[in-house]
Amino acid sequence: MKLLRRVFSLPVLLCTSLALMAALGLASVGAGVFLLAPPPTAMKASFETTPPITPAPASEIADDAAPNADHGAAQHGMAGETEDLSGEAARPEHAEIDAAKAPAPDADEVVFLVPPGSSFHGIAQRLEGQGLIRDARAFLLLVRLTETGGSLKAGEFLLPRGKSPLTVLAGLTRGQPILHRLQVREGLTWWETGRLVEEAGLGSFESFERAVHDRALLDAHNIPFDSAEGFLFPETYFLPRPHDDDARPVVEAMLREFGRAASLIWPEGRPGSDELARLVILASIVERETGQPHERRRVAGVYANRLRIGMLLQADPTIIYGLGPGFEGRLRRRHLDDRNNPYNTYQRGGLPPGPICSPGFAALAAAVDPEEHRYLYFVSRMDGTHHFSTNLEEHNRAVRRYILNRR
C-alpha cells in the first residue's frame, strides 16, 4: 500500500503543480524545474545599493579708488578672481561613470517603491492593489515555487502593466533600480551641495547636514575636521532614491569617491591627519581662485610662497566662506576688516581653520605638487585668466590695467 501511495502521489503532485503554474502564466516552464518548498527564512528587501613679513595690502589701490567695489570679483589682495563662484565647472579629468540612469516610465509602466526591509507579503498586497498582479496569494506561491524570497531588492523599479506575475517578480528580484542623476561640480560648499541633493530628491537638506557633521561617519572616513567640508567629492553620481528622505547614503557615496581619488593622488597611502588637512584646505582655496587648468599649480605656488615667508594669504574666497550661506555676493571693506571671522585671511595668518569647499581632483593634485616660482600676487585679467607678479609694484600696475581702467 505504501508503494502504491507513493506511485499515486507523484503524478497527482506534478499535475497539481502544472495546473497552478498554468494559472500563473508558467505553462511553458518544465514541470521538473520548481518544487514546493517552505518559505525562505530571509524575505526582506535589502540595498545592493622665515620671519614674518607683512607687506602693504595689495588691495590698496583698488580699495582707495573704489571703496565700495565688488571684491567678489577679486579686485584686491593677492586673491585672484574665482571663475563664477556660482557657475558651472568642468567635471574632474579622472571622472568615470559606471552606472546608467533608467528611463522614465511610460503609460504602460509604473514606478514601484520597495523600501528597505520590505517583505514579499506586503509587496504582494501592494502589487495587487495597484493592479500589477491579480492575486496576491498566488503571487506569494510563485515566490515560493521560484525560491526567490531572499532576492527582493530595495529601491524604485519600473514595472510593466498587463504582464505575467513572473515578469513582475523578475523585475523586483533581478531588475535594475531606478537611478537618479546628481551632478556636483567642483568648488561647492557643503550647504550648496546639500541643496542640490534635496532638489534631486535624494534626501532632505536637514538629513544631509546631519550626516556631514556626524562624528562617527567622519571618523570612519578619517576626516580631520568637524564636518565633511572638502571631502564631498565633486562628481556626477547616479543613485537610488533613499528611504525616509535620508541623505546619509549620498554623503557616504561622496566620501567613498574622495577615497578613490585619494588613492590615485597618494597611491602609497594618505598623509597623516595634519598634512592631509593642510593639503585639502590649500586645494579648496585653489579651487575657488581659478577654473583654468594651466593656472592651478601656479596659484598653489603663490600660496605656498606666501605661507613660507609668513605673508597673509589675503584670499577673498576664505572670507566669503566665513560669512556663511547668508553672504549676498559683494565683499565690502568691513568684511576685510572683520577680525571675528575665523576665515578672514586678511586679518589672520596662515591657512584658514578648514576647507572652504570641496576641491576636485586637479586642485588636490596642484596642492600636493605646487609650481615652483617667485610669484606672490595675482589679479584677474577679467577674461578668466590671471596676471601673476613677483612684487607689489608690479601687482599694482596690473590692478590699474586690468581692474581700475575698466570701470
Q: Among 38-47, 144-153, 209-218, 293-302, which stretch is predicted with the lowest mean pLDDT? A: 38-47
Name every residue whose Cβ is closer than 8 Å to that of residue 239 and which is 6 or more positions away in sequence.
179, 180, 182, 202, 249, 250, 253
Are the C-beta atoms of residues 204 and 242 closer than 8 Å to each other?
A: no
- 228 and 128, same structural domain? no
Pick the closest to residue 193 from 201, 205, 181 (CA basis): 205
> Do the domain assignments include residue 301?
yes
Residue where one domain finishes, among candidates 123, 146, 174: 174
Residue 51 has pLDDT above 70, yes or no: no
Which residue range(s) make up the domain with 348?
Answer: 60-96+184-406
- 170 and 88, same structural domain? no
> Do the domain assignments include residue 295?
yes
- 377 and 354, same structural domain? yes
Are the C-beta atoms of residues 362 and 329 closer than 8 Å to each other?
A: no
Number of domains in the chain: 2
pTM (2 d.p.): 0.73
Are the C-beta atoms of residues 251 and 259 closer than 8 Å to each other?
A: no
Q: Give the three cell numbers for residue 387.
A: 596676471
Phi-psi region of 201 (alpha: psi -120 to 50; beta: other; left: phi over 0): left
Residue where one domain finishes, among candidates 174, 192, 226: 174
- 362 and 229, same structural domain? yes
- 326 and 202, same structural domain? yes
Phi-psi region of 350 (alpha: psi -120 to 50; beta: other; left: phi over 0): left
Q: Give the three cell numbers for residue 346.
A: 586678511
- 203 and 142, same structural domain? no
- 295 and 203, same structural domain? yes
> Do the domain assignments include residue 3?
no
Residue 161 has pLDDT above 60, yes or no: yes
Pick the closest to residue 218 from 261, 241, 248, 243 (CA basis): 248
Residue 393 has pLDDT above 90, yes or no: yes
Pick the closest to residue 128 from 118, 119, 138, 114 (CA basis): 138
> Do the domain assignments include residue 167?
yes
Q: Which pLDDT score is estimated for 105? A: 52
> Do the domain assignments include residue 278?
yes
- 250 and 157, same structural domain? no
- 240 and 129, same structural domain? no
State the maximum Cα–Cα separation within the chain, in Å, rounded to a whole number.
Answer: 112
CA dist., res. 350 & res. 285, Å (int): 12
- 198 and 159, same structural domain? no
Residue 368 carries which side chain, given as an amino acid letter?
V
Q: In the chain, what percentage of residues exceed pLDDT 70? A: 73
pLDDT in tens, 339-392: 999 999 999 999 999 999 999 999 999 999 999 999 999 999 999 999 999 999
- 258 and 145, same structural domain? no
Residue 407 pLDDT level (bands cut at 50, 70, 90): low
> Do the domain assignments include residue 50?
no
> Do the domain assignments include residue 44?
no
pLDDT in tens, 220-265: 999 999 999 999 999 999 999 887 899 999 999 999 999 999 999 9
Number of CB atoms found within 10 A of residue 211's CB:
24
Residue 157 sits in a domain whose CATH number is: 3.30.1490.480
Q: Which pLDDT score is estimated for 46? A: 45
> Do the domain assignments include residue 150?
yes
CA dist., res. 70 & res. 66, Å (int): 9
Residue where one domain finishes, among candidates 154, 174, 194: 174
Are the C-beta atoms of residues 338 and 347 closer than 8 Å to each other?
A: yes
Task: Write down the residue that cell numbers 579708488 correspond to.
Answer: 65
pLDDT in tens, 121-132: 999 999 999 999
pLDDT in tens, 271-319: 999 999 999 999 999 999 999 999 999 999 999 999 999 999 999 999 9
Pick the closest to residue 210 from 272, 252, 179, 238 (CA basis): 252
Q: Among 4-13, 101-110, 205-214, which stretch is predicted with the lowest mean pLDDT? A: 4-13
Q: Among 42-46, 137-141, 188-192, 363-367, which stretch is predicted with the lowest mean pLDDT? A: 42-46
- More confidently predicted of 313 and 52: 313
- 189 and 158, same structural domain? no
